[in-house]
């Protein structure tokens, strides 16, 4: 199955009881285009070991 490699930003806000709620989701590539910036994203991890190494680094 091909990967689309799409990246999004999830926007949250706390409700009256202090619980987070989703307020929106934005395409990072669209934001970069609108700002005239080049989007440089890290390589995706291929395993849990790679995630662990990145967090420990």
pLDDT tens-digit readout, 9-51? 889 999 999 999 999 999 988 999 999 999 877 777 788 898 8
> pTM for this one?
0.48
On the CB side of 12, how many CA atoms lie within 13 Å of its CA? 7
Measured CA to CA in angstroms, residue 2 lies from 5, 6 at distances of 9, 12
- Which residues lie below 8 Å from residue 39, measured CB to CB, with a gap of 6+? 7, 28, 29, 32
Of the candidates 52, 54, 41, 34, the one whose C-alpha atom is nearest the C-alpha of residue 7 is: 41
CA 26 vs CA 12, 29, 43, 51, 54: distances in Å: 12, 9, 20, 24, 25
């Amino acid at each position: 199955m091909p990967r689309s490699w799409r990246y999004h930003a999830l926007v949250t806000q706390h409700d009256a009881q202090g619980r987070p709620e989703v307020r929106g989701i934005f395409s990072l590539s669209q934001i970069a285009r609108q700002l005239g910036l080049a989007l440089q994203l890290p390589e995706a991890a291929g395993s849990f070991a790679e995630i662990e190494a990145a967090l420990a680094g």
